[in-house]
Structure 1
Amino acid sequence: MNTKSILTACACIVFALGFAPDSFAQKGKHIAVLIIDGFSNHDWKQTTAVTTWILEQSGRFKVTVSTIPGDSLQRAAWTPEFGNYAVVIQNTNNIQNPRLRWPAHAERELEHYVKKGGGLYVLHSGNNAFSHWQEYDRMIGMGWRPKTSGYALEIDAGKNILRIPPGEGQGTGHGDRFNAQIQILTRHPINKGYPEQWQTANTEVYHFPRGPAEELTVLSYAYDSTSTKRMWPVEWVVKYGKGRVYNSSMGHLWRGETYPPAYRCVGFQTTVIRAAEWLAKGKVTYPVPVDFPTKEKLSLRPEADFIHSTKQ
């Protein structure tokens, strides 16, 4: 089944009405999640479809999608109701076309939403976006930024965090994708019960991720075996006002791929679910599955799981 067919099949499940939770909580058994998409140098349509499937298959989430219009006039009027959702997943990236932006009023609404206590999940290349937006940099903590922009964090052999000032080192980048060994730096509700080290598939480890790096906690890191031969953060959380932000370089899905190993990884899927639950509730109840990957072994879901589900 090709990507276009998968996305067409997904359309009926991803554009459902969201819940209207009180104080960004959930009503009933489902947590209301909003995915923002519409432009990226990555395959944002399939990224949204697979992420929706991962979350809804857990039985804990109801996902709504808001696609930013391509037409500039319609885009200028685009105003999502962030307050109706416990979690917003940011899946837009304008790194290759800086003129593509959210309208200014939507930027302010997202800032207000998170400051009041909303949860923001910055999905992979979402942290490449919006270098013009100062408060976005504060929300995401670190992202894909030039050498002159913000601090870079590195992990040394003693598991200490090294803070590299603006102008030193390099701008953000990555080497070839590889099966990265994720190493826990800080125990947190999201990774509670995970092994100290676990493998994830076909991953980009960002070197010199940069930003204000304020109110930030690094959860995990990985050795960059294909480029710098140094250790860099993979996941981090940020406190922004009363809100919570989760940011990670995991979740790469490039044009021409269909449900690739990076998304089939049991560790990645589990983390998506647990991170979203933590953003919504400040705690995690979703269990670590028995087939969670280990230091020595990957664990991938069958391709047929997603493709069969989207045919229904």
Structure 2
Amino acid sequence: MLLSRKTLYTILFNLVSTIGVWGQSPYKVLIIDGQNDHKVWQQTTQMMREYLEETGLFSVEVATNPPSEGGALDSFIPDFSEYEVVLSNYNGYSWPENVKTAFENFVNGGGGLVVVHSANNSFPEWQAYNRMIGVGGGGGRDEKAGPFVYYDEGKKELVYDTSPALAGAHGPEHQFRIIIRSRNHPITKGMPPTWLHENDALYNQLRGPAENMEVLATAFSPLNLKGTGRHEPVMMVINYGKGRVFHTTLGHNSDSQKGIGFITTLQRGTEWAARGAVTQKIPEDFPGVNSGSRRP
């Protein structure tokens, strides 16, 4: 049976990735889900699991925390110490205090964290979590949470705006260009300086402590699409204690998560969170400045 060029490329890509870590066990990743105001969370969890496992670098498990009356299930007590990285696809009730303490210790002690899209809406009152994610939206976050953070294209610098207002908004889903602002970071190195992302909800007006945070990429939020007229952060990394955090605001739904740009940055961001370096290559079908790229 003849294989398509795309299938052959995927097989070769996975083989090279696996050879690169020959003799080393895959990094163990725990995806947390179970509550999310984005209705496709079950599908996106499965998609992200498959994206990570196809690299040969990761072994992925899922911990689902469905709601009980008035909160999260008390039986939700994951052992974070069993994993190198936790990926949050969770936006729901606060966790029990013992779980939050264990999670803080995990990241502070060197565990990796990947925050995807609406997971940055979670836990507005949990100060340690807000420092882990750098900036967030929703949940009643206001100026007490920290400044708005956006990029001034004219001055080529980040702006930290302490104006009073609630955090977090987005307009209708649309294609938009990602502009890489940190081209030498392991996650973004080798990517085109600007590339077209698939239909997605572009978060704007994110605010938070923004401590030890580096913005890797931004996207322009147009006023005519209920945006801000500013360049908003869409990918960032944060150091929290000894831990590494990769935060992406991309991935609103299953459609956006089919984009090669989303897939590649998720895979590379998770590897960086696990080991502080990236061995994966930029795929040949990565999007360009005017040409999107997605899986069927």
TM-score (norm 1): 0.81
Unaligned regions of 5+ residues in structure 1, if any? 1-24, 95-99, 254-258, 303-312
Structure 2 distance, partners of 1:74, 1:126, is: 15
Number of the residue aligned with 1:292: 286
1:32 paired with 2:28, answer: yes
Number of the residue aligned with 1:83: 81
Q: Do 1:216 and 1:238's aligned partners in 2 also have CA atoms closer than 8 Å?
A: yes
Task: Give SS of 1:139's match.
Answer: helix
Q: Do 1:222 and 1:232's aligned partners in 2 also have CA atoms closer than 8 Å?
A: yes
Number of the residue aligned with 1:134: 127
Structure 2 distance, partners of 1:74, 1:205, is: 28
Task: Give SS of 1:252's match.
Answer: coil
Number of the residue aligned with 1:54: 51
Structure 2 distance, partners of 1:266, 1:216, is: 25
Q: Do 2:72 and 2:95's aligned partners in 1 also have CA atoms closer than 8 Å?
A: no
Number of the residue aligned with 2:232: 232
| 1:214 shift after superposition | 0.5
1:156 aligns with one of 152, 155, 164: 152
Number of the residue aligned with 2:7: none
Number of the residue aligned with 2:175: 179
Matches within 5 A, 1:88-107: 88-94=86-92, 100-107=93-100
Q: Which amino acid aligns with 1:34?
A: L
Number of the residue aligned with 1:18: none
Task: Give SS of 1:245's match.
Answer: strand
Q: Do 1:92 and 1:129's aligned partners in 2 also have CA atoms closer than 8 Å?
A: yes
Structure 1 distance, partners of 2:24, 2:101, is: 29
Identity of aligned residues (%): 39
Structure 2 distance, partners of 1:68, 1:240, is: 25
| 1:44 shift after superposition | 1.6
Number of the residue aligned with 1:216: 213
| 1:139 shift after superposition | 0.7
1:194 paired with 2:191, answer: yes
Matches within 5 A, 1:232-311: 232-253=232-253, 259-260=254-255, 262-302=256-296
Q: Which amino acid aligns with 1:193?
A: G
| 1:132 shift after superposition | 1.6
Task: Give SS of 1:79's match.
Answer: coil
- State the Cα deviation string for residues 47-70 of structure 1 (Å, max 9, x = none): 111110111122221100111143
Task: Give SS of 2:104's match.
Answer: helix
Matches within 5 A, 1:57-76: 57-71=54-68, 75-76=73-74
| 1:292 shift after superposition | 0.5
Structure 2 distance, partners of 1:104, 1:123, is: 23
Number of the residue aligned with 2:16: none
| 1:28 shift after superposition | 3.0
Task: Give SS of 1:201's match.
Answer: strand
Task: Give SS of 1:172's match.
Answer: coil
| 1:177 shift after superposition | 1.4
Structure 2 distance, partners of 1:34, 1:152, is: 30
Q: Do 1:150 and 1:211's aligned partners in 2 also have CA atoms closer than 8 Å?
A: yes
Q: Do 2:72 and 2:94's aligned partners in 1 also have CA atoms closer than 8 Å?
A: no
Number of the residue aligned with 1:306: none
Say if 1:65 and 1:170 are closer, same or farther in 2 by CA, change over 3 A.
Answer: closer
Structure 1 distance, partners of 2:277, 2:86, is: 17
Q: Do 1:77 and 1:103's aligned partners in 2 also have CA atoms closer than 8 Å?
A: no
Structure 2 distance, partners of 1:283, 1:173, is: 32
1:112 aligns with one of 105, 110, 113: 105
| 1:77 shift after superposition | 3.0
Q: Do 1:26 and 1:86's aligned partners in 2 also have CA atoms closer than 8 Å?
A: no
| 1:207 shift after superposition | 1.5
Say if 1:151 and 1:26 are closer, same or farther in 2 by CA, change over 3 A.
Answer: farther
2:142 aligns with one of 140, 144, 147: 147
Number of the residue aligned with 1:8: none
Q: Which amino acid aligns with 1:129?
A: S
Q: Do 2:235 and 2:247's aligned partners in 1 also have CA atoms closer than 8 Å?
A: yes
Say if 1:179 and 1:74 are closer, same or farther in 2 by CA, change over 3 A.
Answer: closer
Structure 1 distance, partners of 2:152, 2:263, is: 28
